[in-house]
Every structure is written in structure tokens, then in C-alpha cells.
Amino acid sequence: MLWTQDYVSRGDFVENKNILEVKNLRTSFFTHVGEVKAIRGVGFHLKEGEAIGIVGESGSGKSVTSMSIMKLIQDPGKIVDGEIIFKEKDLVEFTQKEMQKIRGNEIAMIFQDPMTSLNPVFTIGNQIIEVIRKHKKMSKKEARKKAIEMLTLVGIPSPDKRVDQYPHEFSGGMRQRAMIAMALSCEPSLLIADEPTTALDVTIQAQILELMKNLKNEINTSIILITHDLGVVADVCSRIIVMYGGLIMEEATSEEIFYNPKHPYTKGLLKSIPKIDLGESQRLIPIEGTPPDLLNPPKGCPFAARCSDSMRICKEKQPPYFYTNEEHRAMCWLLHEDAPKTDTKAKGGIAIG
Amino acid sequence: MGRFIAKRFISMLVTLLFVVTITFFLMHAAPGGPFSREKALPAPILKVIEERFNLDKPVYQQYLIYLKDVAKGDLGPSFQRVGWTVNEIIEKTFPVSAKVGGVSVLLVLILGIPIGIVSALKQNKWQDQLAMFFATLGVTIPSFVIGTLIVHIFSTNLRILPSNGLSTWKHYIGPVIALAGFSLSFVARLTRSSMLEVMQQDYIRTARAKGLSEFTVLTKHALKNALIPVISYVGPLVAAILTGSFVVERIFAISGMGKYFVESVGNRDYTVIMGVTVFYAIFLVVMVFVVDILYGLIDPRIKLDR
Amino acid sequence: MEENMKIPDYMWETLSREEKDKEKIDRPVMTYWQDVWRRLKKNYLAMIGLVTIILIFLIAIFGPYLSSYTFSDQDLEITNQSMSMKHWFGTDSHGRDLLIRVIHGARVSLTVAVVASIVNFFIGIVYGGISGYMGGKVDNIMMRIVDIISTIPLVLYAIILMVVLKRGLSSVILAIGTIYWVRMARIVRGQILSLKELEYVLAAKTLGASTWRILFRHLIPNAMGPIIVTMTMMIPSAIFTESFLSFIGLGVSAPKPSWGSLASDALGGLTSYPYQLFFPSIAICITMLAFNFLGDGLRDALDPRLRK
């Protein structure tokens, strides 16, 4: 029986070039109590113009993944192993000076809380102009024009007035729009959005997501959308990666994740989001327990302690990826051909290697 | 902005009224009259004196008269130094104190803030530990100990520093170190912790994610925010240096206002104590007012919040 | 990487709940204060501070009983003697034993500091508690008053109070005790403001608990962390102020010694007898250092968020 223990790049199968390919990425935080292994071997790829979602609860390693790609992991954190191939160059090898040319320019980022992510003592305009002037050869005047243009693009009313206002004069939704304007002002080829809607009202959330979807088509940016909310990604992303305990638990197209999930954790996540469209009353089922302690990560499957179907092997050995099809993989022993058939076990899981 | 200043100005006036009132009534609650320590004066002379100082009038009238005088800038005559007014005493002694105090304030800000910043950036490295070691000593050794040690070691034993008055720049070294020691350490510690807190903020992450150099992140995005609490310490800083002058001027034999104030306390020169206290209070409240305005200029959120 | 192995059948057995939970219980459950104590114990500077403080208290309390001298015994035959076996710290210009005077100074300084801090603590808690709990207009006015008071240097107040009051230990305590509560009041108010919106307070309200009961049973105990840190930081300020007042001649009255007045007395003969300044100064510095270390440590232990 052959399995893949690690993720094998599947980018060769498709025509589009990979803009980003992460291979076996490991990032740890060396704290005074020991090494916290925040991500423990994560691999995935992103094609040009594609939008993928990374989903998981807090502590799953999704934010650390994005900060690792930006190489913004702060002391005592460190990328321990792996490669981050962006446009055929390995960012792990880049110096901080070289990264400064990438950040904000080729890879831009939007953060969770627009209330705290903008500097309170500078005007919105100042903060957008700053990033434009850093990366593009533009005069102050041109940069300001560009900033106003960007604010118009993200739908901020009377942008020529708003540009001189401070963050506290903006509402939450408006601030996130300004953040997006700032992130897109240098036309990056990759945009990482880390929980861009979590801190916002539901109605504003929808607006921001709609905006991101439109902008993606307009300026052909690839997007990594990080969230704990499966509902948020469904609309924007073509592929979804589910993370847990510093590992990728399952990866598939959005349809597959929603209609044919393989991993018990993904199923749990799906059961815990409300489905309005079903029209019938349905109980939300929370996943019990808390994520594993990454200071001493379990040697088996990280989800075993919370999984309703966990077996002895789940505690003993970390499962390999089982592929259902070329674009669908899951890290779960239930997909093994010898595993007992339970009702949650999916039919026809195949392992390739 | 105009409304903000107006509001601050009014609250400044209220504070001043409060201070003058408290000081006045406290002084009048003091045991024994101003002349109680002298031999009993003949009744007619006492009467003349009482009239001259309005002591024969009821307290509330004295209060109103005093209030009016203070508003006009007149702090009254000295009880003990015949022929001197409090104003004259302040005019003569305040510039002396202000020179030493001003140099100390400058030293505190010019040295304290950079030391704090470097400490924060080199957190837990030797630079930080060295700076924080001295900063901890600075807040634990009272100024009168630092002052006397300087006089003893550098003036008396080594004879490299003068110990009397303020005639050359060398005369400033001792008093300024003694005066600034505590506040310098405090500002360094404050800047450090403020800087450390700011460096954890989300907007610093955003600034880094924009590809700004670490230098820009620090000097532009972090520093302006980190200095906000430091600025709010400038008022208390001036106060600390002011009260420090009470002992430092005595140790270094500088005839400034602090030394004079302590002497007046010693010989119970009530009008001088009252007048100097009121003067100190006015001076400080105005400083706080200026700092508040400065605060409003640096932190755009202030205008809305208050 | 490829693997080829057969998985034994027993591996496929479903796990029971107990087996799943086995790993979870390896960390003992600790109460908040146990956790604080555990963190504090790890901070060696704070522990040095704590031990030093306990030692200073023990010396101040029992020291005078172990000495054959008293702080006021004058012996003009032995004025200004240097350190010796009979007088470890030497004698002063009146021939009094300096060691016992420094120990008595510790009594004065610690009494002032502790009692003044307790006075501050109560004024601050009541004032800040009421202000924060009432909120609205009451809070507004009370905080305005605090703003006004905090504009004026507190030492100046203490000086004026000392001019007005009869000199002595109780006056010093009163002067210091009534001026430093402003910071405590602010901290308590801030804590109460953020705590009073929490569910358990609402629950207590709905159950009909009285205002005072909610304030003192529910709110203040939960605000205890920052309050204790403020207390620890207040004690050195009080010691500082007391020695300062004594130094300019406004502290306790002679012959009772305090560290400040001992330092002041030493000024005259500084050139010939520097040790007379050295010992009281060292005593102040050690005490200040100890309280500062403990205070810093407590702050870090109580607020893990601030810890690096």
C-alpha cells in the first residue's frame, strides 16, 4: 500500500502557472517554555488569478501561514523548514531587505481588525501615499491622485475629502475599504486577506466580500482568504484548505468541501455554520473540545481527541493524505481501505502516492 | 480645535481657583499667627501690623481680597522680610531655579527618550539591561543622596566640580544630575514600555506588511504613538524637578526659589509660603495646559474624545 | 516520501471517551492567584525584593530589642565615632548609636509608608469605586476633581499640610495618606467601569443585590490585581516623600530619627564623617529597590499579557 506522507505539488496537472507554491512549511515559536510548533509541514499552491480560502479555528496555524509567506514572523518565531516559491523564487531565502521590495508591492495583506490595523495618528491618505511612494516612482502629487483613485475604486464616497481624514473618522466598514485600497494600491499579484470581515457587521461583511470578488476580477490578483468561517469563503474562493493543529486537514474545490467533505473536522465545521438557504430548521452542532497544545503536539492526528470516530491508530500515527481525486485530499485514517466502515466514512476514498 | 482649547482653558481657571482657595484656607488654619514666635509685641504695633496685613478683617474678606490681588498678579508682602514683597522675592529667585530646572528638563527629554527607545529595540539584550539597571537605580536613589554624594566626592574630595552657586557651566553639572536623575530614569522606563507596547500593535504589523523599512516603521509609525504617554508626563516632570529643587538648591547652595521656599517654611513666613505655592501652581497648571494642547496636536483622536 | 506498511487490526478499534481524554489532564488546574504566585516565584528579582522587604520588616520590628542602645541615648564622650565592634555603624554628633537610629528610621519610614498606603487604599477604593460604579454625572464631577488635584505637585501639598499640622509621625502619615489616593482612585474607577458591564454583575443585579454589595463583593475583589500593584508602587513613593519631608526638616520631630532626617543631620559633618550619610542612604535605596522589584514582578505576574 502506498501513500504520500507529504503533499505533492499538483501544479503540473493544470495549465495556469503557479504564482505561489508552499512546500513543507514549518514555523515555530521558541518561547521560554519551549518550542511551539505553530505550523508543522504545510504545503499548497496557488495559481495565477485564483482565489483560495484557508479555513480553521484560532490556533490552527492559518494566520501563521500567511505571516510566514510575508516573512513577518516576529521574534521568537522562526521559519524552521520548507520553501515558499513565489514567482519561481524561494522567499525563505530572501533577506528582510529583499522582502521589503515584495511586501506591499507584489504581495499585499489585509488584516482582521480595521480598527487597530490603521495607524491612528496619520491620515488615511498619508498611509496610502506612503506605500505607493515606497514602491512606485511617483511624485507626492501623483501618489495622492492615485490614493484618491484607489479610494474611489473601493467605494468610499467623496474620496478627495476622505483622503485627509484620520482613521477614527471612518466607520469600521469604511476603514476596511481603506485597508483594501491601501493593499491594492501597488497592484500586487497576490493579496492575502487575514480574516478581513471578522470584525465587521454582517451586512458590511457581505459588502466587503462582494468588493473583494469584483476587485479580483478587475485587477487579476490572486487571493488567499483566511477565515474561520466557511460561509465567507464559499462565494469568493474556488478552492478551500482546511487547517487544524498546524496541519492541512483537507483540501478540495469549494463544491467538494461543501457537498462531499471527507474529513470529520470539515464535516464538523460545516455542521456548525447556519444554513439559511435550506429553509428548514436545523440544529447547529458545535465541535466539542479545544484545539491541541502545539507545545507538545500529539503524535497522531491532531483532531483525534475531539473526533467522534477516532480509532487507536489516530492517536498513534499521523495520517497521510488520501486523495479522492487530483484536487481533493484529506488527512484522515478513516479513508484508509482497511478502516472500518462507519456512517461518516466516505465511500470510495482512494490513496495515491 | 478652538473649542478644545477653550474647554481646557476654562478647566485651567477652575483648577487655579481651587488651588488658591485650598492654599489660602490651609495657611489660615495654621496654628499661631505669623508673629507668634516673636516676643509679645506691644498691642499698638500688633494692631498696625494686623491692619497692614488685613488680619483684623473676617477670614472671608481676607480671602476675597487675596483672590483679587492674585488675579492682579500681586502676591502680597512678606511677613518676615520687612520691605520685601513676595513678587520681588519670586522675581529674584525664580530665574535662578528656572535655569537649573530648564537644563534638567531638557536633559531628561533629550537623553531619556532615546535611551528608552534603544532599550525597547534591544529588549533583553545587554544594552537594555545596562540602561534599565541605571534607570532602576535612578528611581530608587533620592535626589538628596545623589546630590550630597556628588558634592562629597567630586567637590570635596576630588575637587573637580565647584559646589557653590551657578557662576560657570561646571556649576550646573552637579545640581542638574541630582535634579534630573529620577525623572531621566522614569522617562527612559516609560518610553521603553510605551515603545514595547506600540510595537505589538496591529498597525505596526500593517506598516511592515507595506514593505516599509524597519527604520521607517520605527521612526514614523511607532515613535509618534509611543511618545503620547511620554508627553503626558511632561507636566508631572516639571513638577518633580520643581520639588526636587527644594533639596538640591540647599545642597549646592544655589539661591533659587526652592531654597527660599524651604527657608520660608522653616521660619513660617506664611505669605511667602502661600505666594510661592500659588506661583508654583499657576506655573504648573499652565504647563499642563500647554502639554494638553500639544497632546491634541499629536493625537488626532483627542479632539473628538473630549 | 513513500511508506509501505501493514496496519495491525487492533489499530482500527474505536477509542472510548476516556482514552481520548487521557492527554488532556496533564496540566493541573490552577486558580488565578495560584497562577500569579507561580509566575511571581519564577521572577528572581521580585523574589529577592520580597525576601528583602520581609527582612527589613523583621529588623525594624525586632532590631531595637536586640540592641543595648536606644535611639535617644546621648553619650557626649563618644561623638562622631567611626564604625567599630561596639557601634557597627558608628555614632553621630551627639554620640548616639547610628545602627539603632537607622533601625528606628526604618520603623518610622515603614510605618509611614504602610499606614499611608492603607489610608490611600481606602480613600482610593471608595472614591474610585463610587465614581466608576455610579458613572454618568457623578463620575464626571468626581473625575474632574481628581483631574484638578493631580495637576498640582503632591509634595507641595504635603509641605503645606506639614506647615499647618503639628509636627510628628501622625501628621506625616496624614499628609502623605491624603495626597496619593488620586492614582488609586483612577485605577479602581477604570477597573470598575470595565468590570461592571460583565454578565455576572448583571446577574447579581437582576437577583436584587444591593449596590454596596455588588461593589464590594463582586467588583472590587475582581479589580484586586491592578490595585495590589498600585499599592506596591505607592509604598516606595510614600517612603520617598517621607524622607524628603524629613530632609527639609518637616518630618518627624527630633530626637526621633527617620532616614531623611538622618541624612539631613549628616550633611553638616559630611566631609569628616561620610558614613553618617552612607548608612541611612543605603537603607533608603535598598528598601526602594526591593519595593520596585516586587512591584514590577507583581505587575508582570498579574498581567501575563504584558509579559514577554
Report the C-alpha gap between A321 and A249 in whole angstroms.
8
- A54 has pLDDT over 90: yes
**Chain C contact set for A1 (CB, 8 A):** 4-6
Strands A89-90 and A51-55: unpaired
Contact: C148, B14; criterion CB under 8 Å: yes
B273 closest CB neighbour out of C155, C160, C308: C160
The more confidently predicted of residues C53 and B296 is C53
By the 8 A CB rule, do A59 and A302 touch?
no
| Structure confidence at residue C307 (pLDDT) | 39
Judged by CB atoms within 8 Å, which residues 126-185 of A form the interface with B? 130-131, 134-135, 166, 168-169, 179, 182
- B306 has pLDDT over 90: no
| Structure confidence at residue A210 (pLDDT) | 85
| Structure confidence at residue B1 (pLDDT) | 66
| Residue B279 belongs to domain with CATH number | 1.10.3720.10
| Structure confidence at residue A10 (pLDDT) | 47
CA dihedral B18, B20, B25, B28 (to 10 degrees): 170
**Which residues neighbour A104 within 8 Å (Cβ) at sequence distance 6 or greater?**
A131, A134, A135, A183, A186, A188, B209, B210, B211, B212
Using a pLDDT cut of 70, give the percent of chain A over it. Answer: 88
- Domain assignments of chain C as residue spans, ordered by start: 32-64+86-306
| Structure confidence at residue A347 (pLDDT) | 39
| pLDDT, mean of residues B236-259 | 83
Q: Which domain holds residue B162?
A: 95-298
| Structure confidence at residue A146 (pLDDT) | 92
Q: How many CB pairs under 8 A join A and C?
A: 53
Q: If you average pLDDT over every residue of chain A, what do you get?
A: 83
Inside any domain, residue B87: no
Q: What is the 3-state secondary structure (H, E, C) of chain C?
A: CEECCCCCHHHHCECCHHHHHHHHHHCCCCCHHHHHHHHHHHCHHHHHHHHHHHHHHHHHHHHHHHCCCCCCCCCHHHCCCCCCCCCCCCECCCCCEHHHHHHHHHHHHHHHHHHHHHHHHHHHHHHHHHHHHHCHHHHHHHHHHHHHHHHCCHHHHHHHHHHHCCCCHHHHHHHHHCCCHHHHHHHHHHHHHHHCCCHHHHHHHHCCCCHHHHHHHHHHHHCHHHHHHHHHHHHHHHHHHHHHHHHCCCCCCCCCCCHHHHHHHHHCCCCCCCHHHHHHHHHHHHHHHHHHHHHHHHHHHHCHHHCC
Contact: C24, A314; criterion CB under 8 Å: no
| pLDDT, mean of residues A131-149 | 92
CA nearest C12 in A: which residue? Answer: A311
- A168 has pLDDT over 80: yes
pLDDT class of B31 with cuts at 50, 70, 90: low
CA nearest B274 in C: which residue? Answer: C160
CA A195 to chain C, closest CA, distance in angstroms equals 22
Contact: B202, A135; criterion CB under 8 Å: no
Q: B131-181, pLDDT tens digit by residue? A: 888 888 888 888 888 888 888 888 777 777 777 777 777 888 888 888 888
**Chain B contact set for A108 (CB, 8 A):** 209-210
Q: Can you tell me which residue has the cell 554628633?
A: C93
**Chain B contact set for A166 (CB, 8 A):** 300-301
| pLDDT, mean of residues A295-316 | 83
Burial of B280 (0-12, 13-18, 19+ CB in 10 A): buried
**Chain A contact set for C23 (CB, 8 A):** 298, 305
**Chain B contact set for A182 (CB, 8 A):** 210
- B39 has pLDDT over 60: no
CA distances (Å), A239 to each of A6, A50, A189, in order? 19, 9, 18
Q: How many CB pairs under 8 A join B and C?
A: 118
Give yes or no for C14 touching A (CB within 8 A).
yes
User: Of A247-261, B26-40, C130-144, where does the model show the most confidence?
Assistant: A247-261
**Chain B contact set for A105 (CB, 8 A):** 211
**Chain B contact set for C292 (CB, 8 A):** 136, 139-140
| pLDDT, mean of residues A286-309 | 79
Report the C-alpha gap between A105 and A109 in whole angstroms.
10
Q: C98-139, pLDDT tens digit by residue? A: 787 888 888 888 888 888 888 888 888 888 888 888 778 888
Residue type, A61: G
Report the C-alpha gap between C121 and B27 in whole angstroms.
27
Give yes or no for C263 touching B (CB within 8 A).
yes
Among A115-129, A131-145, C222-236, C276-290, which stretch is predicted with the lowest mean pLDDT? C222-236
Inside any domain, residue B226: yes
A104 closest CB neighbour out of B209, B224, B299: B209
- How many domains does chain B contain in total? 1
Q: Specify the CATH architecture of the domain C32-64+86-306.
A: Orthogonal Bundle (1.10)
Q: A78-112, pLDDT tens digit by residue? A: 999 999 999 888 999 999 899 999 998 999 999 88
| Structure confidence at residue C7 (pLDDT) | 72
| Structure confidence at residue C80 (pLDDT) | 65
pLDDT class of A140 with cuts at 50, 70, 90: very high
Inside any domain, residue B258: yes
Q: A3-19, pLDDT tens digit by residue? A: 554 555 444 444 568 89
Q: How many CB atoms lie within 10 A of CB C121?
A: 20
Inside any domain, residue B272: yes
**Chain B contact set for C247 (CB, 8 A):** 142, 144, 247
Contact: B211, A168; criterion CB under 8 Å: no
Contact: B212, A104; criterion CB under 8 Å: yes
Among A24-28, B136-140, C1-5, C68-72, which stretch is predicted with the lowest mean pLDDT? C1-5
Give yes or no for B298 touching A (CB within 8 A).
yes
- A129 has pLDDT over 90: yes
Query: Which ipTM score applies to this complex?
Result: 0.82
Contact: A120, B202; criterion CB under 8 Å: no
Inside any domain, residue B291: yes
**Chain C contact set for A338 (CB, 8 A):** 7, 9, 12
Give yes or no for C304 touching B (CB within 8 A).
no
Residue A326 phi, psi (nearest 5): -55, -30
Contact: A130, B210; criterion CB under 8 Å: yes
CA C50 to chain A, closest CA, distance in angstroms equals 23
Which of C18, C19, C20, C43 to probe by mutation at the A interface, max A CB count within 10 Å?
C20
Among A4-13, B67-76, C88-97, C239-248, which stretch is predicted with the lowest mean pLDDT? A4-13
CA C2 to chain A, closest CA, distance in angstroms equals 6
C11 closest CB neighbour out of A3, A4, A316: A316
Q: B179-218, pLDDT tens digit by residue? A: 888 889 889 988 988 888 888 888 999 999 999 988 899 8
| Structure confidence at residue C132 (pLDDT) | 82
Judged by CB atoms within 8 Å, which residues 240-299 of A form the interface with C? 298
Q: How many CB atoms lie within 10 A of CB C179?
A: 24
Among A280-289, C28-37, C205-214, which stretch is predicted with the lowest mean pLDDT? A280-289
- A124 has pLDDT over 90: yes
CA A100 to chain B, closest CA, distance in angstroms equals 4
**What predicted TM-score, i.e. pTM, was given to this entire model?**
0.80
Using a pLDDT cut of 70, give the percent of chain C over it. Answer: 82
| Structure confidence at residue A1 (pLDDT) | 36
